[in-house]
Amino acid sequence: MNPAELHSLAEQERQRQKEQALRLFLCYSTPCLSAGADKVKSALEALIAERRKSGEVDLELVATGCMGPCSRGPLLRILSPEGGERMFEKLTPETACDILRRHWADEPPPVEPLAVDLPFFSRQTRIVLDNSGWIDPEKIEQSIARGAYGALAYVLREMNPEEVCNTIKSSGLRGRGGGGYPTGVKWELVRKSPAERKFVVANGDEGDPGAYMDRTIMESDPHRVLEGMAIAGYATGAEQGYIYVRGEYPLAAARLSRAIKDAERKGLLGSRILESNFNFRIDLRVGAGAFVCGEETALMTSIMGRRGQPVPRPPYPAQSGLWGYPTLINNVETFANVAPILKNGAEWFSGFGTEKSKGTKVFALCGEVVNSGLIEVHMGIRLREIVFDIGGGLPDGGAFKAAQTGGPSGGCIPAAHLDTPVDYESLKELGSMMGSGGLIVMNQGSCMPDVAKFFMEFCQDESCGKCVPCRVGTVEMHEILTRITNGAAVLEDLEMLEDLCRLVQESSLCGLGMTAPNPVLNTLEYFRDEYLAHIRDRRCPAEVCRLDKVPLLKLPEHARELAIFLKEKC
Amino acid sequence: MTTSVAAGRPNQDRQGENPRLQLLEKSLKKFHYQQDALIEVLHIAQETFGHLDEEILDYVSLRLRLPPSWVFGVATFYNFFSLDPQGDHVCVVCMGTACYVKGAGEIVARIEQAFSMKAGETTPDGKLTLMAARCLGNCSLAPMLTLDGEVLGKQTPEATLAAIQEKMRLVQARQEDTK
């Protein structure tokens, strides 16, 4: 395929869509599927087929990626050619069919559609999720009709690798995996590394509990990620890419592998892409359930088929990565930002966001909020706007206590800091971090020492065990936190806990260990009185921990017999 | 079969008898017996056999020319691979932050209590395997779990126990019918 053919294919598809009397978009991503979208789809399909027999209907049912408000799924959007758009929530197969029947009969729908000006939609800025919810991710034509691979065609024809790197650099895009390293600088480093082979890796191993942005991007718009990777390949001089998907995301892996095949068949990946001299292959790698594989060096060892254990840096992957060759690793969301930047220019992109954090960020908003789901907001938005405007506040009149960001590497932001702008620097100042973008709202029913214990248990389980501070430190910290939540701790324990946190932070080998103490330190800073209540008053203010049922002295398993023996004798 | 696998000649004599081994061999071939593909091969092996026992790991190590300790090391490192067969029913409770905050810990505790087992174990009669997952990414349905692959959202301990017992009762009724 050459650029002209790409253009005409897009035109053709757009024309076809315009000719449809009606287009139905059914959200078909994981959350809606588990809420029953598949049943809605088969019911609608049966109804359409029945109607089609009589030969009077010209409509299309599109199974799309995520539309956003996951807690309201399954979602259906009806779009008529005049541009009239209505969206329905919490559908059952019956109501969905009823809606369609009444639409044909020109009657008002049986249920009220969602308000068009819902702040959940109107307060968002969608760059990454622009196509999500509007295309069938398994049909490459629909992606192309919305401009997919257009940026790649432009780059291959008009720009040299150096210019591409410079555009990314001046756009101010930073890594969306959490660290926030300037993407353009990283690309430039790989481009300048002399080597006969180079690699591009997309990190889709999103292990943070409470985060599912990467999965949604891969599920809803796989071609956007592939295009970003191909552009990165051109800019850095790589001919081979890997996309590493978490094992728990089978749907994302299936859609990606389909997308790769489709793109290869159309000559948009593979050799001589778009009839240029550029070759780029992408292979899919499926992870097998290890949080540490989200760390770049561990991810690379896992791609090479080994235990996913990190290796010390430097040398950084940009100098020596996969099989010792220079490797560019970016998060899936970072790659999803690439095509719009090159299509619209660096200046357009840097118009969004704050001075140091440009663009938008996708968050998975969940926990105690009315509208939970996937949102994309511009950097620098106040946390209050996210929780109360977009999220719709807390259900049942609950009071906001904290928002947890950044997963086990992040921390909790208390109510006093609700007006903090959400960007890399401000979050870091609060002892939290952007992370990959999980945002969990908690109300008064959450006990902070218990939350810290939860994250420490996570890190203890997921530590790969290679370095001692992380392997032993997380276990010890978990022990102390267990004692605190059991009501068996003394004040010295708190001191020891803080000491341990600093030690693990400073001496661990990789990001997992370095950031594991963050939730503890952060909750100690903002919610110290809760820790003290547990230790001093043996009381849990949130009434989560059961302090009364646990004895102060807990005997180990092997000492129990001895205790019984002593009791009998004495 | 053990002897033939240990002797490294599964190709000629035993493979024809075991279609599942054939499937594994096919995928090995697809990856050109490349050592880098170990994790992919183990994925396929687990999919076909249900779990990875010693024999399968041996077989893979022979075909990929990797030391058995290497293969075993990889298989035990990743949570996804299971070296023991699973129970008739598999209950995976999501323990992501959102689910935990909304009380998933309570659900696990209640199941553990009811079946006197620990998370990650299978009951001695092989009926139920209980697992705690690190975020299944369905945070809007928190607390959620999957029972035999079916997603159950917004759960309470009582509802979960009832669902498990209902599954067991159904299977038992079916078994009695066939008798």
pLDDT digits (tens, 9 = 90+) for A2-43: 999 999 999 999 999 988 888 999 999 888 988 889 999 999
Mutation site for B-interface testing, chosen from A301, A366, A404 by largest number of B Cβ within 10 Å: A366
The verdict on a CB contact (< 8 Å) between B141 and A31 is yes
- Give me the residue from A212, A291, A404 closest to B137, CB to CB: A212
A368 touches chain B (CB under 8 A): yes
User: In chain B, which residues have their Cβ closer than 8 Å to the Cβ of A462?
Assistant: 134
The verdict on a CB contact (< 8 Å) between B78 and A407 is no
A546 touches chain B (CB under 8 A): no
A465 touches chain B (CB under 8 A): no
pLDDT of residue B5: 43
> What 3-state class would DSSP assign to A412?
strand
Residues 136-195, chain A, touching B (beta carbon < 8 A): none
What is the residue-averaged pLDDT of chain B? 86
The verdict on a CB contact (< 8 Å) between A209 and B100 is yes
Strand order through the sheet with A76-79: A59-64, A22-27, A76-79, A85-88
- Give me the residue from A291, A373, A404 closest to B134, CB to CB: A291
User: In chain A, which residues have their Cβ closer than 8 Å to the Cβ of B97?
Assistant: 209-210, 367, 404, 407, 438, 440, 451, 454-455
The verdict on a CB contact (< 8 Å) between A247 and B137 is no
- Say how far apart CA A25 and CA A91 lie, in whole Å: 13
pLDDT at B7 over 60: no
- CA dist A333 → A42, B96, B99 (Å): 32, 21, 24
β-sheet bridge partners, residue A331: A203
- Say how far apart CA A30 and CA A44 lie, in whole Å: 19
> Which residue on chain A is closest to B42 by alpha carbon?
A288
Residues 239-268, chain A, touching B (beta carbon < 8 A): 247-249
> Which residue on chain A is closest to B98 by alpha carbon?
A367
CA–chain centroid gap for A234, Å, is: 26
> Which residue on chain B is closest to A302 by alpha carbon?
B39
User: In chain B, which residues have their Cβ closer than 8 Å to the Cβ of A406?
Assistant: none
- Say how far apart CA B92 and CA B104 lie, in whole Å: 11
The CB-side HSE value for A91 (13 A sphere, CA atoms) comes to 34
β-sheet bridge partners, residue B146: B92, B151
> What 3-state class would DSSP assign to A356?
coil
The verdict on a CB contact (< 8 Å) between B137 and A438 is no
> Which residue on chain A is closest to B72 by alpha carbon?
A307
Instruction: From A153, A128, A155, select the one nearest A266 (Cα to Cα).
Output: A153
User: In chain B, which residues have their Cβ closer than 8 Å to the Cβ of A440?
Assistant: 97-98, 101, 139
CA–chain centroid gap for A431, Å, is: 21
Tell whether ipTM is more than 0.90.
Answer: no
Q: Residue holding tokens 């002295």?
A: A553
A208 touches chain B (CB under 8 A): yes
The verdict on a CB contact (< 8 Å) between B101 and A290 is no
Instruction: From A22, A46, A183, select the one nearest A103 (Cα to Cα).
Output: A22
Instruction: From A74, A210, A35, A444, select the one nearest B154 (Cα to Cα).
Output: A35
Instruction: From A355, A405, A410, A403, select the one nearest A378 (Cα to Cα).
Output: A355
- CA dist A381 → A275, A291, A352, B44, B151 (Å): 43, 29, 11, 45, 34
- CA dist A356 → A268, A426, B8, B92 (Å): 34, 11, 60, 42
In this structure, are residues A151 and A227 in contact, taking their beta carbons and an 8 Å threshold?
Answer: yes
- Give me the residue from A34, A210, A464 closest to B153, CB to CB: A34
In this structure, are residues B134 and A291 in contact, taking their beta carbons and an 8 Å threshold?
Answer: yes
Element (H, E) at A127: none
The verdict on a CB contact (< 8 Å) between A458 and B134 is yes
> Which residue on chain A is closest to B145 by alpha carbon?
A34
A451 touches chain B (CB under 8 A): yes
- Say how far apart CA B142 and CA B152 lie, in whole Å: 9
User: In chain A, which residues have their Cβ closer than 8 Å to the Cβ of B38?
Assistant: 305-306
User: In chain B, which residues have their Cβ closer than 8 Å to the Cβ of A305?
Assistant: 35-40, 74
A402 touches chain B (CB under 8 A): no
The verdict on a CB contact (< 8 Å) between B140 and A70 is yes
- Give me the residue from B39, B136, B142 closest to A366, CB to CB: B142
A64 phi and psi angles, rounded to 5 deg:
-100, 180
Instruction: From A65, A70, A25, select the one nearest A252 (Cα to Cα).
Output: A65
> Which residue on chain B is closest to A252 by alpha carbon?
B137
Q: Specify whether the backbone of A270 is left (phi greater than 0), alpha (psi in -120 to 50) or beta.
A: left
Helices and strands of chain A, counted as H and E runs: 24, 13
> Which residue on chain A is closest to B70 by alpha carbon?
A306
pLDDT of residue A557: 63
For residue A113, the 8-state DSSP code is P
Q: Residue holding tokens 């859609």?
A: A255
In this structure, are residues A176 and A331 in contact, taking their beta carbons and an 8 Å threshold?
Answer: yes
What is the amino acid identity at position B98?
A
- Say how far apart CA A118 and CA A371 lie, in whole Å: 11
A403 touches chain B (CB under 8 A): no
User: In chain B, which residues have their Cβ closer than 8 Å to the Cβ of A207?
Assistant: 134-135
The CB-side HSE value for A354 (13 A sphere, CA atoms) comes to 15
In this structure, are residues B61 and B67 in contact, taking their beta carbons and an 8 Å threshold?
Answer: yes
pLDDT of residue A20: 86
Mutation site for A-interface testing, chosen from B42, B101, B102, B141 by largest number of A Cβ within 10 Å: B101
> Which residue on chain B is closest to A250 by alpha carbon?
B136
pLDDT of residue A566: 64
What is the amino acid identity at position A173?
L
CA–chain centroid gap for A540, Å, is: 33
User: In chain A, which residues have their Cβ closer than 8 Å to the Cβ of B81?
Assistant: 288-289
pLDDT at B88 over 60: yes
Beta-carbon contacts of A502 under 8 Å, excluding residues fewer than 6 positions away, are: A517
> Which residue on chain A is closest to B101 by alpha carbon?
A446
pLDDT of residue A555: 58
pTM: 0.90
Element (H, E) at A114: none
CA–chain centroid gap for A275, Å, is: 34
The verdict on a CB contact (< 8 Å) between B139 and A366 is yes
Q: Residue holding tokens 């249900």?
A: B50
Mutation site for A-interface testing, chosen from B28, B135, B145, B152 by largest number of A Cβ within 10 Å: B135
Q: Which residues of B79-117 are buried (b: 16+ CB within 10 A; e: fewer)?
A: bbbbeeeebebebbbbbbbbbbbbbbbbbbeebeeebeb
A11 phi and psi angles, rounded to 5 deg:
-60, -45
- Write out chain A's pLDDT in tens, 570 residues: 899 999 999 999 999 998 888 899 999 988 898 888 999 999 999 999 888 887 767 788 999 999 999 888 899 999 888 878 899 999 999 999 999 999 888 888 889 888 878 889 999 999 999 999 999 999 999 999 999 999 999 999 999 999 999 999 999 999 998 788 999 999 999 999 999 999 999 999 988 888 899 999 999 999 999 999 999 999 999 999 999 999 888 899 999 999 999 999 999 999 999 999 999 999 999 999 889 999 999 999 999 999 999 999 889 999 999 999 999 999 999 999 999 999 999 999 999 999 999 999 999 999 999 999 999 999 999 999 999 999 999 998 889 999 999 889 899 999 999 999 999 999 999 988 888 888 999 999 999 999 999 999 999 999 999 999 999 999 999 999 999 998 888 999 999 999 999 999 999 999 999 999 999 999 999 999 999 999 998 889 998 888 765 555 555 666 666 666 666 666
Rounded to 5 degrees, what angle do the CA atoms A7, A9, A15 make? 105
pLDDT at B177 over 80: yes
**Where do runs of H (alpha helix) occur along A354-490?**
383-384, 424-429, 448-462, 468-486
A411 touches chain B (CB under 8 A): no
The verdict on a CB contact (< 8 Å) between A308 and B77 is yes
**Pairing mode, if any, of strands A400-405 and A411-414?**
antiparallel
pLDDT of residue B149: 83
pLDDT of residue B8: 43
User: In chain B, which residues have their Cβ closer than 8 Å to the Cβ of A215?
Assistant: 137
B162 phi and psi angles, rounded to 5 deg:
-60, -40
**Pairing mode, if any, of strands A327-331 and A199-204?**
parallel
pLDDT in tens, B111-146: 999 999 998 889 998 889 999 888 888 888 889 999
> What 3-state class would DSSP assign to B75?
helix
pLDDT of residue B2: 39
B69 touches chain A (CB under 8 A): no
The CB-side HSE value for B129 (13 A sphere, CA atoms) comes to 15
Task: State how far residue A47 is from chain B, nearest Cα, in angstroms.
Answer: 26
Tally C-beta pairs within 8 A across A and B.
127
pLDDT of residue A138: 95
B109 touches chain A (CB under 8 A): no
More confident call, B154 vs B1: B154
The verdict on a CB contact (< 8 Å) between A247 and B136 is no
pLDDT of residue A207: 84
The verdict on a CB contact (< 8 Å) between B78 and A247 is yes
